[in-house]
Structure 1
């Protein structure tokens, strides 16, 4: 490509940078003040595009009508965001951060189906901006006039935010809350209204970014997930809570993508590198590099320590005799499932899916609960196990039995490599790095058509003849899952498990007594990847085919939902959470077109009613009942002793 063409490509990237900035800066503001990782931020961007399509189509015949309709779209999104903050998010500020993430994911499902109901499933492309439908000539190339306007809007928004944050009292409060929100509350500032205002501002910016894309991008129901992935990347690269960092990161990512498109292919030592096919992964590669080199982003800083007392994690104890008998009863019931297959033909398939989900959730819980390592990319190891086993069978012709052993080892190798970098971070930065690695794996599998089948995936991954019947494969899955879960539980009560929990609860004290915390966490990360790979291998042989969807963001989020629904601080939580989620997902999906909204509302209700998970809340209720009965018993004994003294006269 000529130099002039490359320059034009980079100039066009400036309009893309403005869009990325508008999407991400609101997310950065919301996180900086409320500390909520708002997974629903992409949904507000999507709403902006849909509202823009409706309002601009009706009132945008003139330039003033177009821009007024665009502004009104963003304001409508801001109002919707404020209402959601006041009615939903305000109720969960006291719950752990991961449950807040779960609640915002539920909002994604609800908003997605609400959008489907209002606008339908078809793509909708809004009309062009009046007076800006033409183009100008530059260096022999045509640049759309509307792109030039977008180039200017991003810097104008940056300047406006800077002036607002530095010259107004509300901006001062926002900056103060970003630095120390507990101190802001101690000074008498109404945090509720501050949070509502900031959330509405962030939603306004996301809605504005979406509305401005109306003439360029068709509105569709996939924009929410696409937008939130990009927004997370921008915010993390720039630094969580940094407005300037979001702008710099937007420019960086947009220009790198423009260069990839402009250069096309690059030959390095006779190796052809298709840069134009790396646009799906390049932003995550950049994020991974930045986080490894500078863990808090380019212009970010370490998150300020909370002044609240740290939450004490409940001590894990071996299962009581009653719990063991209950577990044995559940295993016995599961062994009898095939006997009901004639009456319920779908029961075996559903049970296999549920068992695989249980193992996937248990492997994720191994590092999230006892390890304290929050992973947003655990689907990478599920997918590596599935593709590893599938490729071994299809490409090398290995038998299923050997592939089931080697497939999980492929996943463990991936976890070994990615974990070495990931465990050096913590909190949301660790989560974002795991997401980056998962997206890198997904992109390689999605685009490597000659080896992985690309978007078509792999087919013909069937079990051996002796496992061809659904009943035989069900028993293999049941045995594999029970053994795997028991091994994970055994590891938590071995010295390794105690060291892992010690590093989670107090890394400094653990290091002081000679525990290499990072090494223990690295090993735990690898073990979790191994058993996640076992779940993926079972999945591949149960379905007979696999696609890149097994490594998608949605599958990683499903794992998070399963663990958090059951309870992250309980050993049986992921088992219960995976079972309930699979049943809800399967039942609701078959009953209604708008199953996402129903599932999202169910998850949201569970988060509000059971902020420590279903099993965790059940244990807490049981403890309160036991304590109440014990107090009553003690009270009765004291009353009895008092009555005895009264009847016996003076004890002297």
Structure 2
């Protein structure tokens, strides 16, 4: 019922709303069942085993092998042999035409959402006797589900089934191989199970961009309101910006009695730079990324390793670490810019998870799951106020530089490629090269944010580049407003402040945070900064109309 209000909104805003609901449901599960893991009993009559060719197979596993094709067949019949299925397939192709025929789209897609939730619940219930239910299974499950859908091909249910079987069998083979000697090097295939589905997805998307059984993706009709051309900041905007900068400069003196506030504002500034770098490729470039945390983490790990292992001064590490992140973006971007839409987003997620797995398992270099400690700034920055001023200077400079790039000919060419690839190609713009360059620039500034984060915390761990941080970045950009340049900064400050404030005041902070995000999405579908901009634009238009009438 809640999501019906935003069915006509861009898909990313629907994603943000569902993320908010996940936070609420997660804390609801914590309140009802507690934090303990829950393992369900086997179904009656399926607790034993069956002898097949001299080997014992659990009866319940054989039952699951049968259930899969049965559910697939029933779902295929529902979508291809019923009027409801015909309407669903038609609506995915052309919503406007289906609506013109008198079909209530809201109820139709509410039913689709309910069916998907039912199947997800069935999968969870069937899995419960094999693996316990935990509060952390949401991101793990949704990541694997995304991979299966994309590898199989968007819109192809048989493709998703084949992809699930393929990935499961490859995982089983990796476990069976164990450690293998290859040219004198020991390769642990069993460790690949953490990331094998993302490796498969990366290979499939590079070779066959639309999945195993998918078709080229049609252009989305839910693109939101057309984006107005960029305007140079007016006098009042500049005055407001200077006033805000003055407040930020005076902040350590105003909060001298509360050192924690200085630490919090350092986190706010770093989050703002991270969100601004993500917005650079999502908004003006039109490339959605689910794996931007990879470059944030590369910058953080590069800074930590340069200081700890290479003995490089912290000041030089702050220069080199962003370049390491840019190098990663250069490599990953070369593959990513060849795709578009959800396939591009999922390939960025695949590369991010591969990077996370390397950092998580390379104990001798990255510290493995324990990460790296003792990553402290130089002595003259040991005072948090001094480090705050350094962070403020670099973040403000980075955000302004990103803004300046968007007002340059490169920025205009980037937006031209986003709005119409064919027209941009016709006037001689190399769209892929522009997008690739944008990837590198975004990775550079995300890496700078990661380096600042590493020195502010004194340690670094694989969680820095986990998918959760990429999701946080998406929330920041969408919450602030993807169609405004100030949106990512506003969204980053709002989300980080809410996260910190709510988490310190209640055990069920996820539910409160999710509810607040959901309310903001429903009230401001263009984002907070987008709504504010709309108010000022309306006033400007009203003023111009009055002057014209006079």
Structures share fold, TM-score greater than 0.5: yes
**d(CA) in 2 for partners of 1:182, 1:242:** 22
Aligned pair 1:265/2:179, yes or no?
A: yes
The question of 1:334 aligning with 2:248 is answered: yes
Give the CA deviation at 1:439. 0.5
SS in 2 for 1:568: coil
Total equivalences in the alignment: 550
Matched, 1:167 2:51: no
Query: Where does residue 195 of structure 1 map in the other structure?
Result: 109
CA distance in structure 1 between the partners assigned to 2:429 and 2:58 by the alignment: 60
Which entry has the higher C-alpha Rg, 1 or 2? 1
Greater mean deviation of Cα atoms: 452-461 or 174-183: 174-183
The answer to whether structure 1 residue 626 and structure 2 residue 540 are counterparts is yes
**Counterpart-to-counterpart distance in 2, 1:562 and 1:334:** 20
CA distance in structure 1 between the aligned counterparts of 2:99 and 2:218, rounded to whole angstroms: 15
In 1, distance between residues paired with 2:281 and 2:183? 41
Deviations 1:374-409 (A, max 9, x none): 111100000000001101111111111111111111
User: In structure 2, what is the equivalent of residue 468 of structure 1?
Assistant: 382
Match for residue 433 of structure 2?
519
Give how far 1:522 is off: 0.2
Say whether residues 1:437 and 2:362 are aligned partners. no
| 4+ runs deviating over 4 angstroms | 306-311, 632-635
1:381 — aligned with what?
A: 295
SS in 1 for 2:181: strand
The equivalent residue for 2:368 is: 454
Asked if 2 retains the 8 angstrom alpha-carbon contact of 1:121 and 1:220, the reply is yes
Q: How high is the TM-score relative to the length of structure 2?
A: 0.97
Per-residue displacement from partner, 1:545-599 (whole Å, max 9, x unpaired)? Answer: 0111111111001111111111111111111111111111111110111111111
Find 1:153's aligned residue among 57, 67, 71.
Answer: 67
Question: Contact 2:10–2:224 at 8 Å: present in 1 too?
Answer: no
State yes or no: 1:181 paired with 2:181: no
Shift of 1:311: 4.4
1:315 alignment partner, SS class: coil
Q: Which residue of 2 aligns with 1:577?
A: 491
Distance 1:495 1:550 in 2: 34
Residue 137 of structure 1: which of 51, 56, 66 is its match?
51
Stretches of structure 2 lacking an aligned partner (at least 5 in a row): none
Relative distance call for 1:309 and 1:104 in structure 2 (3 A) is closer
The alpha carbon displacement at 1:185 in A equals 2.0
Q: Tell me the residue number matched to 1:420.
A: 334
Q: Deviations over 1:581-626 (max 9, x none)?
A: 1111111110111111111111111111111111111111122233
**Alignment correspondent of 2:307:** 393
Q: Distance in 1 between matches of 2:12 and 2:92?
A: 20
Asked if the contact 2:9/2:224 (under 8 Å) is kept, the reply is no
2:316 is aligned, of 402, 417, 431, to 402
Structure-1 residue corresponding to 2:508: 594
- Alpha-carbon distance, 1:493 to partner: 1.2
- 1:149 match: secondary structure: helix
Structure 1 residues without counterparts, runs of 5 or longer: 1-86, 638-652
The alignment partner of 1:346 has SS state of helix
Query: Scaled by the length of structure 1, what TM-score is found?
Result: 0.82
Question: Is residue 231 from structure 1 mapped to residue 145 from structure 2 by the alignment?
Answer: yes
What is the CA-CA distance between 1:634 and the residue it aligns to? 5.2
Deviation at 1:218, TM superposition (A): 0.8
Give the Å deviation of 1:308. Answer: 7.6
- Which residues of 2 match residues 205-220 of structure 1 at below 5 A? 205-220=119-134
In the alignment, the residues of structure 1 paired with residue 47 and residue 346 of structure 2 have an alpha-carbon distance, to the nearest angstrom, of: 39
Note the 1:236-247 alignment, pairs <5 A. Answer: 236-247=150-161
Q: Note the C-alpha offset of 1:260.
A: 0.4
CA distance in 1, matches of 2:58, 2:164: 20
